[in-house]
Amino acid sequence: MNGNNESTTSENFIKAIIREDLKTNKWGGRVHTRFPPEPNGYLHIGHAKSICLNFGVAQEFGGITNLRFDDTNPTKEDVEYVDSIKEDVKWLGFDWADREYYASDYFEQLYEYAIELIKNGKAYVCDLSAEEIKNTRGTLTEPGTESPYRNRSIEENLDLFQRMKAGEFPDGAKTLRAKIDMKSGNLNMRDPVIYRIKHTEHHRTGNKWCIYPMYDYTHCLSDSIERITHSLCTLEFEDHRPLYDWVLDELGVYHPQQIEFARLNLSYTVMSKRRLLQLVEEKYVDGWDDPRMPTISGLRRRGYTPESIRDFAERIGVAKRENTVDLALLEFCIREDLNKRANRAMVVLDPVKVIIDNYPDDLVEELEAINNPEDASSGTRKVLFSKEIYIERDDFMENPPKKYFRLSPGQEVRLRYAYYITCTNVVKDDSGNITEIHCTYDPETKGGSSPDGRRVKGTIHWVSANHCLETDVRLYENLFLNEDPMQFERFQDNINPNSLQIVNAKAELFLKNAKVGDKFQFERKGYFCVDSKYTTSEKLVFNRTVTLKDSWAKVSGK
């Protein structure tokens, strides 16, 4: 499958800034961005927004984008995460070429810069404990107080910092702090810690270091080292920008521009790594790639395409306003993509048997079906038809309401690509459940149209009872019942108990050749893909990506 339905790119304030910078030649005509994940969890749809922004904007203006792992905290990070992140960015369709960087690659240089800060009297070694630092930081409305170690001599600071690096002190015994302003209204400027001691092995540098630089200190310098032009990050870092600028200015080094935009929130889900990690660890879901998760890997397994996610990212725009995008927009994007690309199949999810009494007992006919009415090049296929078939249980009603135009006693419907049938009677078991529906067919309507031109309102899908494939189909609903799960004391309490339902379905025979990841529209039901986790050589398992729009559900008030 291939296709592309991305809408034309829209304007946003970041593009406006870049366009202006290009006009004034601020960066010598360069546009160089970076996507800087911390490898401490899987990427989610919110990261996809950032990825599409960073790579997209560079692409649009002839620039390039680095992939940089912000790996300055060895206690939280792991290679499992760097591998998944690389896979996800690649899958989304972006290429960082050979520019795969790690903040940890810069540890040596960062250390040298720290020494320079010390020499300039702009940083000092502080012996205060974490608790004491917290207590002297002040509050939102009151200034902090200066550390008693703030005015150590440069020589002493140099000596101590070197000994911190050499491993002479235990975790937490000392920190290196920037000497800025304990009275600043911006808490980030109250002598922030820029190095801490952690005798922890790092997934890349091993045991080489026992001091690790903090985010604020590392990020701006990494951007500087990589000659980034526009450093795009989310709103919560707005308060950190003065520190970003301070470090680079004090060191007098290349100085990128940090620009903040609003992170994505999506209705009916949660979107923080911490919360997603909780869902995984507390076993509410099957893992980071559970199809109900808003992770890239979850969406991939669910059947979303990279094109649909890029289209979504384009449609939601980029601005500074806090936002919660309607899940319906994401669903719209995948439907629109798959409508044009996915071949159709008839699959009965909740089967009930129909017997066509006047159809010859042993006859089996081959009928022609269109693979995708939206794509003439997709061709046709043959479907087997016989006396006994399955239809959806809810495509029959004994006492139908007004405007119900599927099968009911005396009402004629079309079996898609087959014949018109009319229900004559039903057979029930002792508890009143329908076990068989008896019908007659009109042999003149083969293919699904009648020579006399009479109209039937309803068309339903079916499979031949003796010519079908058993498959498991996993039907997903939103993981959460409320559009804003975070309004609950415990967001876990809002989990939808019906977010996963597994049914045994009867599918058209040709589906047996489907491969993991293949996508189909099950006619009248939705889009489905072959699951990568539970499919075996014996049994195909499908995931429902999204339902089709169902205007009958609205009419019937469901």
Partner RNA sequence: UGGGAUGUAGCCAAGUGGUAAGGCAUCGGCCUUUGGAGCCGACAUCCGCAGGUUCGAAUCCUGCCAUCCCAGCCA
Phi (first) and psi of residue 507, to 5 degrees: -115, 155
Number of residues that bind RNA (CB under 7 A): 93
DSSP assignment of 402-424 equals TT--SBBBTBEEEETTS-EEEEE
CA distance 271 to 295: 9
* List 79, 130, 154, 166, residue binding RNA (CB under 7 A): 130
- Of 233 and 279, CB closest to RNA: 233
Query: Which candidate in 273, 302, 310, 524 is catalytic?
Result: 273
Q: Which of 73, 104, 147, 295 binds RNA (CB under 7 A)?
A: 73
Q: Which of 230, 301, 341, 414 binds RNA (CB under 7 A)?
A: 414
Q: Which amino acid is at 297?
A: S
Q: Within positions 374 to 393, which residues make up the interface with RNA, using CB under 7 A? A: 374
3-state secondary structure of 474: strand
Provide the minimum distance between the beta carbon of 333 and RNA in the complex, in angstroms, as a whole number: 8
Under rule CB under 7 A, residue 187 binds RNA: yes
Residue 20 interacts with RNA (CB under 7 A)?
A: no
- Closer by beta carbon to RNA, 303 or else 535: 303
Q: Which of 403, 490, 515, 558 binds RNA (CB under 7 A)?
A: 403
Separation of alpha carbons 430 and 341, rounded Å: 46
Residues 223-282 close enough to bind RNA by CB under 7 A: 235-240, 262, 267
Nearest partner of 266 among 545, 497, 39, 478, judged by Cα: 478
Which residues, numbered 35-64, are part of the site for RNA (CB under 7 A)?
A: 36, 38
**How is residue 137 written in tokens?**
């930081």
Task: Answer positive or negative: Cα dihedral of 481, 482, 485, 488.
Answer: negative
CB of 53 to RNA, least distance (A): 12
Closest approach of RNA to the CB of residue 430, in Å? 29
Cβ-contact 421, 412 below 8 angstroms: yes
Binding string, residues 145-184; x marks residues near RNA by CB under 7 A: --------------------------xxxxx---------
- Which span (106-114, 211-219, 289-297, 429-437) binds RNA, by CB under 7 A? 211-219
d(CA 260, CA 473): 42
**Region near RNA per CB under 7 A, out of 49-57, 136-144, 152-160, 508-516:** 136-144
Per annotation, catalytic residue among 34, 38, 204, 301: 38
Using the minimum distance from each CB to RNA, give the nearer residue, 38 or 531.
38
Tell me: does residue 79 bind RNA (CB under 7 A).
no
**Residues of the chain by 3-state class (helix, strand, coil), percent to 5:** 30, 25, 45
Residues in 97-126 at the binding interface with RNA, rule: CB under 7 A: none
The angle that helices 241-251 and 107-119 make with each other, rounded to 10 degrees, is 80
The CA distance from 404 to 400, in Å, is 6
Nearest distance from C-beta of residue 399 to RNA, angstroms = 14
Considering only residues 478 through 517, tell me which ones interact with RNA, judged by CB under 7 A: none
Q: Does 295 bind RNA (CB under 7 A)?
A: no
Q: How far apart are CA 111 and CA 449, in angstroms?
A: 79
Residue 38 known to be catalytic: yes
- Would residue 549 show up in a list of annotated catalytic residues for this protein? no
Tokens of 488: 């609950």
Parallel, antiparallel, or unpaired: how do β-strands 526-530 and 519-522 relate?
Answer: antiparallel
4 DSSP assignment:
-
Between CA 312 and CA 294 the distance in angstroms is 13
User: How far, in Å, are 64, 111, 156, 504, 508 from residue 319 at the CA level?
Assistant: 22, 36, 47, 45, 47
Q: Which of 27, 55, 113, 212 binds RNA (CB under 7 A)?
A: 212
Please report, as residue ranges, which positions from 416 to 455 form the binding site for RNA (by CB under 7 A): 416-417, 447-449
Q: Determine if 202 is a binding residue for RNA (CB under 7 A).
A: no
Local structure of residue 206 (DSSP, 8 states): B
Q: Which of 3, 11, 360, 493 is close enough to bind RNA by CB under 7 A?
A: 11
The residues annotated with a catalytic role in the active site are 38, 263, 273
